[in-house]
Amino acid sequence: MSISDSELLSKASVLVTGATGGIGRAIVARCLAAGATVFAAGRNEAALNELHESAGKALIPLCYDVSDENAVKDTFRQLQRMVSDGVAPPLYGLVNCAGVMLESPLSVTKMDNLKAQLNINLLAPYQHMQLASRLMSRLRRGSIVNVVSQVGEQGSSGMSAYAASKAALTGATKSLAKELAPVGIRVNAVAPGFIDTSLTSHYDEAAQQAVFKRVASGRAGTPEEVADAIFYLLSPQAGYTSGQVLGVDGVFTP
């Protein structure tokens, strides 16, 4: 018999990066509802404090820039200290949700912009996986979920930098699933399509309709629908699932 979500997550912590974004907030809420302690990471201190006020002590805000290597190390030291002092339960889950999306044709993409995509969408989640897996391996269990994209899975004209960064994260996901399985850590990803968040809020009505023509479901997805998929992969219900990329896209062709 598999252990239930509430049994496991009520005694565990989950770190969510990009916690104040649309999908981030939804997965934070989902984890809190399951009884988990959530380390909510973001750069917007006011938004983090607001989350903290509404969620109470089950939510521990962590304000730092995910692409600042030293800040990430300091954060994990802080996290490790809280766990060893009994302030928070052991780290079981990591959701790499923080990301940025650049829409830019090849001819006008600056190298600095490409590097920024790679820093935030690939290197930052990679470092988080490196540090989180060390904490998880102490208990020989853990679950990591990366938020990738259908743009990375299928490609999209005018979005090569973003697509490359997300496709690289998919590659890391599949490889780390194999590498970390012996220590009881699962690594999966969700690949959202067109989701109603701040990343897509600049699309006007006409642009949205043009996108919806390429979505079989004919509409945008919601952050909650993505969070449901993340939560499934995070939970013991997916205990025998690793190295997978779960599309949450209403059947989308970017």
Partner 1 sequence: MDNQQKLIDAFTQALGIEANAVTDELTYNTIPQWDSTAHMVLVAELENTFDVMLDTDDIIDMSSVAQAKLILQKYDVNFGQ
* Pick from 188, 190, 153: nearest CA to 168: 153
Q: Does 115 bind partner 1 (CB under 8 A)?
A: no
Give the span between the Cα atoms of 175 and 123, in whole angstroms.
15
Q: How far is the CB of 112 from partner 1 (least distance, A)?
A: 26
Any idea what DSSP says for residue 184?
T
Starting from the edge strand earliest in sequence, which strands make up the sheet with 13-16, in order? 59-63, 37-42, 13-16, 91-96, 142-147, 185-192, 245-248
- Residue from 76, 92, 162, 194 in contact with partner 1 (CB under 8 A): 76
Phi-psi category of residue 35: left, alpha or beta, with phi > 0 → left and psi -120 to 50 → alpha:
left
- Residue 91's φ and ψ, nearest 5 degrees, are -75, 120
DSSP summary character for residue 158: T
Q: Does 2 bind partner 1 (CB under 8 A)?
A: no
Q: Token pair for residue 93?
A: 């889950």
Question: Are the C-beta atoms of 67 and 120 separated by less than 8 Å?
Answer: yes
The reply to whether 188 sits near partner 1 by the rule CB under 8 A is no
Residue from the set 133, 188, 235, 242 that interacts with partner 1 by CB under 8 A: 133
Q: Which of 64, 126, 162, 203 is catalytic?
A: 162
For the CB of residue 67, give the shortest distance to partner 1 in the complex, in Å: 17
Looking at the Cβ atoms of 134 and 219, the one nearer to partner 1 is 134
Single out the segment in contact with partner 1 by CB under 8 A; choices: 28-36, 70-78, 114-122, 199-207: 70-78
Contact range with partner 1 by CB under 8 A, out of 29-37, 104-112, 128-136, 204-212? 128-136
Spell out the residues 6+ positions from residue 26 whose beta carbon is closer than 8 angstroms to its own: 222, 223, 224, 226, 227
Instruction: Considering the complex, state which of residue 110 and residue 134 has its C-beta at the smaller distance from partner 1.
Output: 134
- Asked if residue 71 binds partner 1 (CB under 8 A), the reply is no
Q: Is 162 among the catalytic positions?
A: yes
Contact with partner 1 (CB under 8 A) among 3, 6, 50, 77: 77
Enumerate binding residues for partner 1 (CB under 8 A). 73, 76-77, 80, 84, 130, 133-135, 137-138, 140, 182-183
Catalytic residue ranges: 162
